[in-house]
Amino acid sequence: MTRSRLALLLLLAAPMVGCEQSSAVPNSPKPAPAAEVSPRITVHKVVAAEPVEPTIPPVWLSRMHANWCVSKVGEPFPTTELPSLGGALTKLSTLYGKQAAVVLFWTSDRWMSRMALEDLVHGVVAVYAPEQVAVVGIAVGQSTGAARKLLGEAKAEFPQLLDADGSALADVGSVALPRLYVLDPAGKIVWFDIEYSESTRRELEQTLSVLTAAGE
């Protein structure tokens, strides 16, 4: 290769030395940083519910149970006169309270009777003055001795009457003892339940709270 040709090749190659191809676009704008996304918070307005006035619970009975009930809500409680445990004839109406009366028909051969008697002691007698809310027990078909035995076990010291032949019970219904009735000051039935359970206790408390609040 002649010297003049070598010089020509070096001259043609000179612009390529130190050059690298770049994929970058000159003066291209930088991508904007991703915006920070804050979590969306939904605020719910809380509206206070209006207080609901307590009411006397309704009496729900199956058709069979309804057939066992003679006296209904809204009717006067039957007038009756029965001997007390001491033997003196007593008109039931003379034992009513100024705001309400609770009448329990019971028999000693039912475990629910003892529970009902004990609940009346703790939930009614211990809470209300007897002249305001009276509690009366009516022992159905019981001797004085049998009645006193269960009353002593339940520590029930409120007035008790003896319905030896079941005639007083027959005026309000049949079977399904114990039976619990709540009467207003005029002796009208405002609520009752047959047989006894925890729901009976709750509804009794609710009924008495309404009657005593109305009498304040």
pLDDT in tens, 124-157: 999 999 999 999 999 999 999 999 999 999 999 9
The amino acid occupying position 200 is: T
CATH number at residue 133: 3.40.30.10
What is the model's pLDDT at position 40? 65
Let me know if residue 174 belongs to a domain. yes
pLDDT at 198 > cutoff 70: yes
Let me know if residue 117 belongs to a domain. yes
Confidence grade of residue 21 (pLDDT, cut at 50, 70, 90) = very low
Mean pLDDT, the chain, as a whole number? 85
Let me know if residue 149 belongs to a domain. yes
pLDDT at 77 > cutoff 80: yes
- H/E run at residue 5: helix 3-13
Let me know if residue 67 belongs to a domain. no
Let me know if residue 185 belongs to a domain. yes
pLDDT at 58 > cutoff 60: yes
Confidence grade of residue 4 (pLDDT, cut at 50, 70, 90) = low
What is the model's pLDDT at position 110? 84
Average pLDDT over residues 4-32: 51
Let me know if residue 74 belongs to a domain. no
pLDDT at 79 > cutoff 60: yes
Number of domains the chain contains: 1
What phi and psi, each to the nearest 5 degrees, are found at residue 213?
-70, -40
Let me know if residue 104 belongs to a domain. yes
Q: Tell me if residue 91 falls in helix, strand or coil.
A: strand
Closest-CA residue to 133 (of 192, 69, 215): 215
Instruction: Write down the pTM of the prediction.
Output: 0.76
Please state which of the ranges 39-48, 62-71, 136-145, 146-155 shows the lowest mean pLDDT.
39-48
What is the model's pLDDT at position 17? 46
pLDDT at 22 > cutoff 50: no
Residue with the larger pLDDT of the pair 160 and 4: 160
Let me know if residue 210 belongs to a domain. yes
What is the model's pLDDT at position 54? 83
CA distance 196 to 171: 20
Average pLDDT over residues 45-65: 82
How many helical (H) and strand (E) elements, i.e. helices and strands, does the chain have? 6, 7
Confidence grade of residue 181 (pLDDT, cut at 50, 70, 90) = very high
Range of the domain at 123: 96-214
pLDDT in tens, 97-122: 999 999 999 999 888 999 999 999 99
